[in-house]
Amino acid sequence: MDPITQLIIMAPPLLLALTLHEYAHGYIAYRLGDPTAYNAGRLTLNPISHLDLIGTIAFFFIKFGWAKPVPVNPNYFRNPRKDMLWVALAGPVTNLLLAVASAILLKTLLVVVPAPLYTTALQMILVPLYNMLVASVWINLVLCIFNFLPIPPLDGGRILTGLLPEDMARTYASFERYGFVVVLILAFTGVLGTVIFPIIKFANNLLLA
């Protein structure tokens, strides 16, 4: 695909994936008693509220990115460590469900409207839709697997913090201030892609087989 076509195809599933990822964090936090995201106007399905400019641009250049994190205040939780684990888990699990749903919808469309039945009008609608669903599977797997990395402040880091003994969790969480820098260095040196892309490719092939 040329860059413009790629942008048109990838933009809708990327916006949906990022928006629902962050909304899921905010919704679970809200259900567990934290109104921070709601009060900040982040408990919304408006993608503009969740977009991070650098994270969105990065997706098109290094093939993974991020949204603006939803604010969460664990002081509102009854059990801050346990509840924060569920909040962190909500984002990548949502992306996994979106990837599965996209793959199921794609396969369903291929059965319901096979290629021999295409007319010119149908082709103009279905071919972009098929491409968007294929992109949706890949994008959501990228966001799911990337965010499961056990590096604070990624969701995987917060999930691990909730599983570790309290003393170890406190020490591990203290590295969060350096985590984003570590992620960027790993990303731009290609180390991160070398680690996660084989997993993403395997999952993608499994869903689209």
Which residues have a catalytic role annotated?
Answer: 22
Q: How far apart are CA 183 and CA 195, in angstroms?
A: 12
**What is d(CA 156, CA 89) in angstroms, rounded to the nearest whole number?**
8
